[in-house]
Chains A and B, each alone.
Chain A
């Protein structure tokens, strides 16, 4: 099969047919004379290709002289031999790659630069490194591989959980900038298939990021996709993987038990907490929780006391979490298939790939992703090159069973809803109306009003179809040997169609039809909702284009070297969204019915209402213009000085043009010490010192001359007219945010390449940072806070990466360490006099001078009193006056207790690679140290009103004396919310978060090349991988994950073959 493709492609790409003029043959051996099998032999002019056999012998036809032979083999240095007519037999020795210092070429998205000449701080990840992890999201594969990069899966304000070198803004955009090949990628990162990515470069300091301008303040991640290479023989790669993600543990979150929950409900019922719901019930028919239903029926005399006790006891044995664990959750399985072909000749290089991923999730949700990629590069003349590329993604996902947390009755989570009876038959869940109402209303003339959650999901699927197309064209012209110009154009479009289809039989459709039914005097039923299903649809599209023009100038004379690059680019990203609802929806034949959604209709429960519908409309156009330039000067290949400059502008609403432009710059120096004479006698292969400094910034849209008015469509319930609302108030006095970064770095390779160390120290300072500050809202009123230049912060840290590479014969050992220290502190924060300080939990900025940007501060904890009330200190007196403790006392920040940072201060990874013959074993351990988290606890307000209870409820204060053994407050009714707040924000709920995790283990076997060749393959690799293998150690004694994430273990079996 692949041979056929091979032949077809070869035929297609051969530009013309050449006559044979001779041949060349030879033997390839290692240093000790051993024959090397499977060495690629490539003739450039002839574009001919062969491989050595078991004795290291090859023979290949020559079509013209002179030509060049390129020999390459994994683990050996390439050898290039000029071929003249008189050469017919060659004996070649290949050198092993072991002690070689690899020449790393960094792609900044603008330029490819030799790492040797760079002054900035870059991190380069090769596809081998990326392949050690198996996730379907490319960014996940960076985790544990790169220093200075931390993952914060719990942050809501960013699209991706990645953070490069801590915080540089408080409320500005926090996302890293993602570049795919040459341009910012505005699409969904999940559209990119990791198989299509050749390498990743992470740009960390100002010199590295300055070229990307205003949006690069949080670091830049450059994804470089696979391309063909000139002089590369045609190769076909196929791979397949199966990923199994273990099912989640519903008991991961410590929740109140069913028995405890029902006891709480009973207590509330006795105290009349539900009286109003019960009294109003005849008008709403709203469902009660199963236990409450029994209490009410017992009171009404519908069931006996005895039956009631029995029913309650059997409910106490029901646990939704157990049901989910045993009967609902499944292991998620992803199957992946990929194939690619690439090659390159004198005129043309190309790469084509296709990848398919199919996932079946824990709740039977499905996701299919198809990627097709094509790249072609044509040398039209010696000095003119044309690059063409296209990338297509088709991603379809379909929802599955309802989430465990979606079971709510009367706005409360209920942990004991029975979904199946003892024989495994599905049960109806009365989550909206009382069962008695459903059973009797309409005398059987209404549609079945019962809800079966474990099968209804099949009648109400949500499908999301995302399609993305990226096409680009680049033209590069080498004007003289020094000057080149290039133009690039990229067009991208992504559409996402979301459709929630409530089929005719779905609960949602039946419920609406029944709810809006009226029973006529003749007993007939008429509903305002037409028969059929309901469809909610949403269409979103993102279209973007980029144009870039650049000029480069390279000049070398004597010991000098100058490199200048400059140009401009523009980008436009347009986002559009439309959504709507269709009633009477049927798929076959495809029909829908018009309804009047502006009218109030009577409901059979007694009320009235509008038919639910969505009607969204949105359109944004973001435009960016940038002018940039950078230059470097090198002397003797030892001393380098670089500088870069960029101005950015965007069409920010209401800004005057001058405010839109923003200058950024950086300078840097590098010194290759190992080239100095004084280091000649040291066993140091590389020693380089780097230093950079640069400035960047950020502008806030509120720095506008006019307020921003947002418009809303008429809502018949409220207003008949289009409404406008000032959602952002104008504040022309805002200043730019300014961030300056200093980076000092040292790269060392010594002991004949045994040890490779790279260390960076950086210091960041952010001034005039934006933040929300309280103000006199008499002057506006919509919000209690307003955007101001409120803060200055500084942060500094060390990124250290160390690799060792030790070889003993067939054994190769490669341990590595990534070690990072990061600390930051607030230098200034606007805090008005007389405003109390609030505790922080690490999810928001803590505005305390001298403390970390994200820190944990708490109320002082004085234990429980002899009634189980949490106590604080008023002066030295223990107190339960929560109003004083919360609203009066913390006028000064010292009355709060500071625990520490909420982000790891020390973090990194320990990796280990062991290779023997074809086997390799890698594992990676991550550590995150020196930080704190709030563990959560019982919140009685939330328990009573929302049904959210914490497992520690079982350990609460219950009788006098308990205060000596527990810190969990007693249950009280009526509840005082401030009492909950005090306890939950006190010292006693703070824990150390330090932990060590086993990130992954990867075991691979690469078949010996001669065996592979016998199977008709170039290479064949089998691998087994386990990732997210769990917490090895944590500081807290509690049985919870300090990072409050629940990563499931993933096991992967994979196969990779090359032809």
Chain B
């Protein structure tokens, strides 16, 4: 009898051993640990975060628009301070978080790709994914460095604080700011590596391509005022894709409220956007384009009707390559690259070549057969011309802020004026506030130093 009892006890208690497989069942079928190649690709394909979270603050701080008085009064306290360039303390959610999330994702993908490497058979996919992760990291860092650090100056770049360079997904590794030079070097290094791995072109410009990496390198060198390099990379990008969207295209209804909602045009080399406004200041519904800027567009210039809608004492911008009037497109286009190249050529003294490049853009912007090629002009005039065309073409693309910074760094004296309830506020060139404040809850929880004001 005793024996029987013992057997029963043993059986009941130990049947449970061997339940390891039982517990290895995946709990949520929509989850994974992101370690397979297709999972990694999916993380990079999260366009909502990877492409559509470029920063709103630089747009809000730029001179692309102004806020009419009642729009200003309707903003929150934080947004009113931002508009007046007085904002210092602000917290999550913000551009900083959005951009570093992209960096985190890129780092996680790079780490998982490194683990995968020895067992991979499809090396081409692996390389492309690796290149894409590097590109996204560089892309986020580009927006970070142009937003939160001062304009690049070769002589001061070692002393000036840059951005936080994160190369790991381990959140226990503390963050600190590197120098401005290290920050740019890091971005460039990622892009140069990415260029060798990425496919030349992609089907939907949400995914990075070689052209995109060259284009971003051109942007980087432009903000560093390294015009030779910028020209080289812009040229390389244009060698892959040089197609400019013709505004005479029958499919476009320029007069409509949102002419470019089809957004993924061949002209777009890499698609990015302000898909979420972290401040309502830059909301195209609130901001107005002043009539001075509006009047610089020629009457035959189709952008005049495609971009603007008269409203009140200004114009509402509607030329964004996106599906909503509340959001802005900030991606890379061939038109931007042509204008970058044109600017570099003119600066290098190749004025005629530069002007031809401008014509190449404007021919696609003017009414069919109405465009007259630009006559030759002196270098300085040509430079002013290309800078004005750059501003007009890239209006409300989020990059004006970086342009103002670099142009002021070379002494162009662009002053920003805000008129708030009858009072004029002037932001002097090279003001310390051109390096945007780092969020309060980041500096409070880390050793990251705040910008000095």
B33 touches A708 (CB 8 A): yes
A840 to B99, CA, bound (A): 31
A726 to B49, CA, bound (A): 11
In the complex, what's the smallest C-beta–C-beta distance from A611 to chain B, in angstroms?
14
A272 to B24, CA, bound (A): 61
A-side contacts of B157, CB under 8 Å: none
B97 touches A570 (CB 8 A): no
Tell me which residues from 711 to 737 in chain A have a Cβ below 8 Å from any Cβ of chain B: 711-712, 715, 717-726, 729, 731, 733
Of A276, A479, A709, the residue contacting B31 (CB under 8 A) is: A709
Tell me which residues from 260 to 292 in chain A have a Cβ below 8 Å from any Cβ of chain B: 271-273, 275-276, 279-280, 283
Question: A549 in the interface, Cβ–Cβ < 8 Å?
Answer: yes
Q: Digit string of B72-114 for contact with A (CB within 8 Å is 1, else 0)?
A: 1111110000000000010111001111111111001000000
B-side contacts of A479, CB under 8 Å: 4-5, 8
Of B25, B69, B77, the residue contacting A976 (CB under 8 A) is: B77
B47 touches A723 (CB 8 A): yes
A608-B258, A777-B92, A779-B166 given; A726·B77 CB < 8 A:
no
Question: A710 in the interface, Cβ–Cβ < 8 Å?
Answer: yes
Of A608, A710, A715, A977, the residue contacting B30 (CB under 8 A) is: A710
Q: Digit string of B49-85 for contact with A (CB within 8 Å is 1, else 0)?
A: 1011000000000000000011111111100000000
Of B74, B261, B444, the residue contacting A600 (CB under 8 A) is: B261
A720 to B25, CA, bound (A): 30
B43 touches A725 (CB 8 A): yes
B442 touches A651 (CB 8 A): no
A-side contacts of B31, CB under 8 Å: 653, 708-711
A778 touches B448 (CB 8 A): yes
Of B5, B175, B445, the residue contacting A835 (CB under 8 A) is: B445
A621-B25, A724-B39, A775-B445 given; A276·B285 CB < 8 A:
yes
Question: B370 in the interface, Cβ–Cβ < 8 Å?
Answer: no
A715 to B97, CA, bound (A): 23
A718 touches B275 (CB 8 A): yes
B23 touches A711 (CB 8 A): no
B-side contacts of A553, CB under 8 Å: 5
Question: A1003 in the interface, Cβ–Cβ < 8 Å?
Answer: no
B206 touches A720 (CB 8 A): yes
Tell me which residues from 829 to 873 in chain A have a Cβ below 8 Å from any Cβ of chain B: 832-835
Question: B123 in the interface, Cβ–Cβ < 8 Å?
Answer: no
Question: A649 in the interface, Cβ–Cβ < 8 Å?
Answer: yes
A723 touches B5 (CB 8 A): no
A-side contacts of B298, CB under 8 Å: none
Tell me which residues from 643 to 667 in chain A have a Cβ below 8 Å from any Cβ of chain B: 649-654, 657, 660
A1012 to B30, CA, bound (A): 61
Question: A366 in the interface, Cβ–Cβ < 8 Å?
Answer: no
A722 to B48, CA, bound (A): 11
Q: Digit string of B7-42 for contact with A (CB within 8 Å is 1, else 0)?
A: 011001101100110111111111111110001111
B43 touches A275 (CB 8 A): no
| Residue ID in chain B nearest A777 by CB atoms | B97
A719-B45, A834-B444 given; A711·B70 CB < 8 A:
no
A273-B70, A786-B171 given; A726·B104 CB < 8 A:
yes
Q: Digit string of A446-490 for contact with B (CB within 8 Å is 1, else 0)?
A: 000000000000000000000000000000000110010100000
B257 touches A835 (CB 8 A): no
Question: B422 in the interface, Cβ–Cβ < 8 Å?
Answer: no
Count of B residues near A, CB < 8 Å?
A: 90
B-side contacts of A717, CB under 8 Å: 323
Question: A255 in the interface, Cβ–Cβ < 8 Å?
Answer: no
A-side contacts of B174, CB under 8 Å: 776
In the complex, what's the smallest C-beta–C-beta distance from A339 to chain B, in angstroms?
40
Tell me which residues from 147 to 193 in chain B have a Cβ below 8 Å from any Cβ of chain A: 164, 166, 169, 171-175
A719 touches B446 (CB 8 A): no
Question: B428 in the interface, Cβ–Cβ < 8 Å?
Answer: no
Question: B419 in the interface, Cβ–Cβ < 8 Å?
Answer: no
Of B48, B258, B444, the residue contacting A719 (CB under 8 A) is: B48
A-side contacts of B25, CB under 8 Å: 621, 623, 651
B-side contacts of A776, CB under 8 Å: 174-175, 442, 445-446, 448
A829 to B99, CA, bound (A): 30
In the complex, what's the smallest C-beta–C-beta distance from B82 to chain A, in angstroms?
13
Q: What's the count of A-B pairs with C-beta under 8 Å?
A: 243
What does DSSP make chain A's interface, helix, strand, loop or mixed?
mixed
A-side contacts of B286, CB under 8 Å: 276
In the complex, what's the smallest C-beta–C-beta distance from A274 to chain B, in angstroms?
9
Question: B311 in the interface, Cβ–Cβ < 8 Å?
Answer: yes
Q: Digit string of A762-798 for contact with B (CB within 8 Å is 1, else 0)?
A: 0000000000001111111111101000000000000
Tell me which residues from 342 to 398 in chain A have a Cβ below 8 Å from any Cβ of chain B: none
A485 to B70, CA, bound (A): 79
B441 touches A784 (CB 8 A): yes
Question: B226 in the interface, Cβ–Cβ < 8 Å?
Answer: no
B-side contacts of A783, CB under 8 Å: 92
Q: Digit string of B435-453 for contact with A (CB within 8 Å is 1, else 0)?
A: 0000011101110100000
In the complex, what's the smallest C-beta–C-beta distance from B206 to chain A, in angstroms?
6
B-side contacts of A833, CB under 8 Å: 444
Tell me which residues from 215 to 236 in chain B have a Cβ below 8 Å from any Cβ of chain A: none
Count of A residues near B, CB < 8 Å?
A: 87
B-side contacts of A774, CB under 8 Å: 441, 444-445
Q: Digit string of A60-76 for contact with B (CB within 8 Å is 1, else 0)?
A: 00000000000000000
A719 touches B47 (CB 8 A): yes
A606-B256, A781-B98, A832-B444 given; A649·B206 CB < 8 A:
no
A-side contacts of B261, CB under 8 Å: 600, 608
In the complex, what's the smallest C-beta–C-beta distance from B92 to chain A, in angstroms?
3
Tell me which residues from 600 to 623 in chain A have a Cβ below 8 Å from any Cβ of chain B: 600, 606-608, 617-623
Question: B292 in the interface, Cβ–Cβ < 8 Å?
Answer: no
In the complex, what's the smallest C-beta–C-beta distance from A782 to chain B, in angstroms?
5
| Residue ID in chain B nearest A482 by CB atoms | B5
Question: B46 in the interface, Cβ–Cβ < 8 Å?
Answer: yes
A-side contacts of B51, CB under 8 Å: 719
A777 to B446, CA, bound (A): 9
Q: Digit string of A691-706 for contact with B (CB within 8 Å is 1, else 0)?
A: 0000000000000001
B-side contacts of A651, CB under 8 Å: 22-27
Tell me which residues from 224 to 282 in chain A have a Cβ below 8 Å from any Cβ of chain B: 271-273, 275-276, 279-280
Question: B293 in the interface, Cβ–Cβ < 8 Å?
Answer: no
A-side contacts of B46, CB under 8 Å: 712, 719, 723-725
B-side contacts of A835, CB under 8 Å: 441, 444-445
Question: B116 in the interface, Cβ–Cβ < 8 Å?
Answer: no
Tell me which residues from 34 to 93 in chain A have a Cβ below 8 Å from any Cβ of chain B: none
A-side contacts of B285, CB under 8 Å: 276, 280
A-side contacts of B204, CB under 8 Å: 720
Of B28, B42, B70, the residue contacting A271 (CB under 8 A) is: B70
B-side contacts of A566, CB under 8 Å: 9, 12-13
| Residue ID in chain A nearest B100 by CB atoms | A781
Question: A589 in the interface, Cβ–Cβ < 8 Å?
Answer: no
A-side contacts of B5, CB under 8 Å: 479-480, 483, 553
Question: B250 in the interface, Cβ–Cβ < 8 Å?
Answer: no
A777 touches B34 (CB 8 A): no
A-side contacts of B33, CB under 8 Å: 654, 706-709
A-B contact pairs, 16 of them (CB 8 A): A273-B70, A479-B4, A606-B257, A608-B261, A621-B25, A650-B23, A718-B48, A719-B46, A723-B48, A724-B39, A724-B42, A729-B171, A733-B172, A781-B98, A784-B97, A974-B72
List A residues at the B interface (Cβ < 8 Å): 271-273, 275-276, 279-280, 283, 479-480, 483, 485, 549-551, 553, 566-568, 570, 600, 606-608, 617-623, 625, 627, 649-654, 657, 660, 706-712, 715, 717-726, 729, 731, 733, 774-784, 786, 832-835, 882-883, 887, 941, 973-974, 976-978
Given A625-B22, A719-B51, A774-B441, 11 more A-B residue pairs with CB atoms under 8 Å apart are: A479-B5, A570-B22, A651-B22, A711-B30, A720-B204, A725-B46, A776-B174, A777-B97, A779-B171, A781-B100, A783-B92
Top 5 closest A-B pairs, CB basis?
A781-B101, A784-B92, A724-B42, A706-B33, A974-B73
